[in-house]
Structures are given as structure tokens and as C-alpha cells.
Amino acid sequence: MATPIKLAVIGAGSAQFSLGLVKDICLTPNLAGSEVVFMDIDEERLAMIRRLAERYAGELGADLRISSTTDRRAALQDVDFVINTAAVKSHAHQRAIRDVTAKHGYYYGGVKLGSFYQFDLMLGVARDMEEICPDAWLIQSGNPVFQGCTLMTRETDIKVCGLCHGHYGVYRIAEVLGLEVDKMEDLTWEAPGLNHNIWLTHFIHNAQDVYPLLDAWIEEHGEEYWNSHVAERTHDIQMSRGTIHQYRMFGLMPIGDTPLRGGWWYHTVIAT
């Protein structure tokens, strides 16, 4: 039996994220009859996302209502869930921060100047929710997830859940090791920790501990991989030299963006 919901997406201007969300809702029978409200301050991108989403849902024949607004408070009216994926500043702003920190001899990854803008936005959304939809769940997707969720749970009464995709690094390891990626139901793993700081403590494939396979791969194929591999995606670092160095240092594989929190010697300049 379907249980329709009303969901607001704050910072909906990302086609990749918003359309992926629409796809998931369309393919979930229990969410038939739901409504998605896209909110973004960029009117052009917002209109594009709405058109794409409506077309996508229409071609699938999904029972999904889609609306959009540039008014955040209007987007929060009567919602059950809020997903905040917004970034206050652009990639150009992040580049400017990297240039400033590099000029003074620091690596950008260790200096979170841009986070202050994000914290202000996160608190603003949570406080609006306290007033408009106090019973709704806030799903925080935009970074910094851990620090932002900590801040919002301390400063507001809103129910907050942080969401990050970094744990998918486990599947990247399995792929590189040649495990059958089409049968990931046979993969059992645990990677506890904080967002962007998680460690693979349990890694089993078809009842076999994968760590010995990983050790063998490092010894037999590691150098060849590092000398020939061309990055396939942003932050393609799961099997990098730095990641393996941290594995050898701590005895557990760092997962997702965790290697970026490693020693300063990995990141003396942004190119490294």
C-alpha cells in the first residue's frame, strides 16, 4: 500500500542529484502519489530541473507531482522530509580559497574557510523548519555533513540525518580486485566512523576475508596500477598510493574521502 510523502529539495539545481532522486521515487511503488518540491535560487537551473524531472516521471508513467519555487520558506510548507544539498558558494569560490591557502603554504583540505557559509545556510534551513514543519526530517547531503549535523542537532530541535555516499569506496576496492561486481549481495562489510573518516573493519566476499586478497594485489599489481591508472572520476583515490600507505600505517583501509584526511605530506600542493 502506497504511503505518499511531500519532499522538499533545497539546492535542487544539480541535475545529477535531483534526477537521481526523482528516479528513486518513481521506481518505489510505496511512494506513489508523492510530491517533490524543488527549491533553488537559480531560476534558470531550477526551471531546467523541473522540466527534466516532469519529463522523466511522465515517461515512466509514475504517479508523482513536481513543483518548484525560489522561496525556501514556501518550499517547506507541509513537508514530511527535507533534503538539503545546497552549496552556498560556487566552485570558483572554492578555487579562490585553494589559491589563497596555497599562497601561504597550506593545503586546502586542512583549511575549511568555506564551511562558515555552509553552516549559516544549514542553521537557516533548520530554524525555518522549526517554525514551518517541526515534525519533518531533515536529510543533510551538502557538506560538511558531520559538522553541520552536529551543529543543527545542538542548536535546534529538528530531527537530522546526515547522508554521504563515501562508503561506496568499498565497491571500488572490490572492482579493482576483480571480484564479481554484479553479485554485490555476496559482499559483507562494515566501515564505522565519522563522515569522511571511516575505516573498513569487516570485508567478506562469498564467506572469504578480502583483506588477504587486497594484500596480494598490493604486492603483485600495485605498482603497475599506480603507474598506469588514469582517474575515471572526481576523487578517484580509493586505491591510490596515499590510501595504501594509510592502510599499512593503521592496519585498516580508509574508505571514500578518508584518505584526504591523511598526513600533510600527501598534499603539499593541490596537484598531489
In sequence order, which residues have a C-beta less than 8 Å from that of residue 106 and are 6 or more positions away? Answer: none
DSSP string over 71-112: -HHHHTTT-SEEEE---SS-HHHHHHHHHHHHHTT--GGG--
Neighbouring-strand partners of residue 83: 9, 139
* Structural contact between residues 35 and 66, judged by C-beta atoms closer than 8 angstroms: yes
CA distances from 133 to 34, 65, 130 (A): 17, 20, 6
Sheet with strand 81-84: strands edge to edge: 64-69, 34-39, 6-10, 81-84, 137-140, 159-162
Q: What is the arrangement of strands in the sheet containing 193-194, beginning at the earlier edge strand?
A: 193-194, 197-200, 253-255
Q: Is 189 helix (H, G, I), strand (E, B) or coil?
A: strand
229 is catalytic: no
Catalytic residue among 40, 128, 196, 257, which? Answer: 257
Residues across the chain: 272
Q: Active site residue: 165, 167, 196, 221, which one? A: 165
Catalytic, 165? Answer yes
DSSP 264: G
**Residue positions annotated with a catalytic role:** 165, 257
